[in-house]
Amino acid sequence: TLLTTVARQGQCLSRSQFGVLYRHAVPMGTTANEEMNKFWAKNTRLNRPVSPHISIYKWSIPMLMSISHRGTGVALSSGISAFALAALVLPESYPYYLDLIHSMTFGPQFLAFSKFALAFPVAYHTFNGIRHLAWDLGKGFKIPEVYRSGYIVVALTVLTSISLAAM
Amino acid sequence: MNIKLVHILELLILNTSVFLYCLFLSLSTALLFRSSSLIRPLAVQKKDRDCPYLISAKIHATPSNYAGSGSKAASLHWTGERILSIALLGLAPVAFCYPGPAVDYSLAAALTVHGHWGLGQIVTDYVHGDFKIKMANAGLFLLSTVTFAGLCYFNYHDVGICKAVALLWSK
């Protein structure tokens, strides 16, 4: 209740209960973007150290899943770009290089594992992407819902990756 | 009854402490930066010409409030990102059931733009400073252009994306 009291007090302040202190709201001439740039420019110029943040904050499932969504996105994008670059640069055709890889006879477990390794980031990014789209519709923001949808995404990812690796 | 008294006490203590804190802030600010403003609050100082009051809350007003030329570019970009994500989601089963050049080129375009916009958000999050932002976005644009070119080249001169995935999975 102390917290709600504080929140209510904060609202009262902005409604100028203490009228003499916050009588006027003045729009700034700069945009938020410009203010952000000014912040970074000043602080990098003064060579100020950054307070520890991600090195000290306790990791949570939603945090992990969020950065994994970004990580898988970067990995997949890099893979696609590397593939596109290879297509432009390499002299031979795709079936040629595919046969070259297959001729190296790695064994069925290795092939299944590499299929799993390829399918996993695609599946994770796809399912977590759907979770993001649900949030964009305003659904599923309650903390239990966030965790529940997160577990579902991970379960679906593992199941899908295993099924795809078996194909 | 007891709990109510405690609440009232909490409120009183909080109220007075907040008021005293604000008073302290205003006094110290006036003393440190605008020493004359407390003595003569009606006097308009040169740098306070725009805000002649003791304390003003500075806010960022959205452009559409005070300027007639508000831009919906950022908002439309956001919507575009979501629509493209949904389109890419729908493209996956289509690629599985109806592989061919139409889907190949659609995939090339959708994947490239989705990746470009996604990496663009990462640049916005982590890159600071006007010049660095410009350079990072230029590099990203170059990467996405080469990616799209490469994928189209692959679709035209080689087996195409759908066939490539099928072949990769066949062994």
Select the residue of B51, B85, B149 nearest A88 (Cβ to Cβ).
Answer: B149
Q: How many domains does chain B have?
A: 1
CATH number at B136 reads 1.20.1300.10
User: What mean pLDDT is predicted for residues B106-114?
Assistant: 98
Instruction: Classify residue B79: in a domain, yes or no.
Output: no
Q: Alpha-carbon distance A137 to B62, whole Å?
A: 23
Tell me whether residues B89 and A74 touch, CB distance under 8 A: no
Tell me whether residues A5 and B168 touch, CB distance under 8 A: no
Tell me whether residues B56 and A102 touch, CB distance under 8 A: no
Residue A34: the pLDDT is 83
Instruction: Classify residue B78: in a domain, yes or no.
Output: no
pLDDT tens digits along B113-136: 999 999 999 999 999 888 999 999
For residues B121 and A54, is the Cβ–Cβ distance under 8 A? no
Instruction: Classify residue B143: in a domain, yes or no.
Output: yes
Tell me whether residues A81 and B147 touch, CB distance under 8 A: yes
Instruction: Classify residue B68: in a domain, yes or no.
Output: yes
Select the residue of B19, B61, B158 nearest A94 (Cβ to Cβ).
Answer: B158
Instruction: Classify residue B153: in a domain, yes or no.
Output: yes
A95 touches chain B (CB under 8 A): yes
Chain A: give the shortest CA distance to residue B129, in Å. 6
CATH of A61-166, one of 3.40.1650.10, 1.20.1300.10, 3.30.300.130, 1.10.600.10: 1.20.1300.10
ipTM: 0.80
Cβ pairs A/B, distance under 8 A? 133
Instruction: Classify residue B154: in a domain, yes or no.
Output: yes
pLDDT tens digits along A141-165: 999 999 999 999 999 999 999 999 9
Tell me whether residues A111 and B171 touch, CB distance under 8 A: yes
For residues A121 and A68, is the Cβ–Cβ distance under 8 A? no
Tell me whether residues A81 and B58 touch, CB distance under 8 A: no
Nearest chain A alpha carbon to B121: A70
Query: Per the annotation, does B77 bind a ligand?
Result: no
Question: What is the residue extent of each domain of chain A?
Answer: 61-166
Chain A residues near residue B44 by CB distance under 8 angstroms: none
In this prediction, residue B4 has a pLDDT band, given cuts at 50, 70 and 90, of low
Tell me whether residues A84 and B89 touch, CB distance under 8 A: no
Which residue of B119, B126, B161, B163 to mutate against A (max A Cβ within 10 Å)? B119
Select the residue of A2, A18, A80 nearest B115 (Cβ to Cβ).
Answer: A80
User: What mean pLDDT is predicted for residues B51-63?
Assistant: 60
Q: What is the mean pLDDT of each run of 10 residues along chain A (167 residues)?
A: 59 50 70 85 92 94 97 98 97 93 82 94 98 97 98 98 95
The three-state DSSP-derived secondary structure of chain A is CHHHHHHHHHHHHHCCCCCCCCCEEEECCCCHHHHHHHHHHHHHHCCCCCCCCCCCCCCCHHHHHHHHHHHHHHHHHHHHHHHHHHHHHCCCCHHHHHHHHHCCCCCHHHHHHHHHHHHHHHHHHHHHHHHHHHHHCCCCCCHHHHHHHHHHHHHHHHHHHHHHHHC
